[in-house]
Copies of this chain bind each other. A is one copy, B any other.
Amino acid sequence: MSAVTYKTDKADQSRARILDAAARLFREEGYAAVSLRAIAAAAGMKGGSVYYHFESKQAIVIEVLDTGIIAVHGKVAHTIDSLPAESTAAETLRAGILAHLQALFEFSDYSSANVRIYSQVPGAARESNRRLRREYEALWGRLVERFVERGEIRFGTDTRAFILLLIGSLNATLEWFDINRGNLQGLAASYSDVLLNGVLAERETKS
């Protein structure tokens, strides 16, 4: 134990158990439906003990929501940055789509809780998370704009609509894809095929 470690291991572990339990319960039942006593019980303690680690239920949900976005943003940013400089639009978008899906399902309680309860948490918690959402959308925005300028993505594509289509469709997989039964690489490939090439056997001619 280093001299600069002020927090005990026990406190950190209890705090983490509270967050994990809260993320899972918020995902399953919503924000208002989950009581502090239920979070405490799932974390192996009594209701009153939670207030040693968090000052309010709202403080817990803020951390849960932010963790969900940060995990996905970090994974996608790191993946994109690790690609060769000469990567094509197709290679880059495919890698980003796979990374987004991997992060979603690796931290599924946090990311699913974020998608499901964001609109239902107290205003202060929503505002805290909104900035992180905007930053993540901006990451994709820069990526897509770069390829529009290079001419690899079709001119005329509504960049913002495309990004929100992409993120919205990927996040929706949390509602139906079973990571224990399906193949995530296959899912990412199918989604990439549609988003990059469309589903028509022959493209429509420009009007």
Kindly report how many copies of this chain are found in the complex they form together: 2
A175 touching B29 in the complex, CB below 8 Å, given contacts A157-B194, A161-B190: no
A130 to chain B, nearest CB (A): 12
A118 and chain B: residue at smallest CB distance: B175
A200 and chain B: residue at smallest CB distance: B196
Which residue from B167, B175, B190, B199 sits with its C-beta under 8 Å from A196?
A: B199
Q: Is A73 an interface residue (CB 8 A)?
A: no
Which residue from B28, B30, B195 sits with its C-beta under 8 Å from A31?
A: B30
Q: How far, in angstroms, from A90 to B207 measured CA to CA in the complex?
A: 13
Question: Cβ of A44: which chain B residues have Cβ within 8 Å of it?
Answer: none
A171 to chain B, nearest CB (A): 7
A199 touching B157 in the complex, CB below 8 Å, given contacts A31-B30, A116-B119: yes
Q: How far, in angstroms, from A191 to B166 measured CA to CA in the complex?
A: 10
Looking at A89, A155, A164, A201, which has the most chain B CB atoms within 10 Å of its CB? A201
Looking at A28, A155, A173, A193, which has the most chain B CB atoms within 10 Å of its CB? A193
Is the Cβ of A191 less than 8 Å from the Cβ of B175? Answer: no
Q: How far, in angstroms, from A66 to B52 measured CA to CA in the complex?
A: 43
Which residue from B120, B166, B200 sits with its C-beta under 8 Å from A197?
A: B200
A residues in contact (CB < 8 Å) with B = 27-33, 89-90, 116-117, 119-120, 144, 151-155, 157-158, 161-162, 164-169, 171-173, 175-176, 186-187, 190-191, 193-201, 203-204
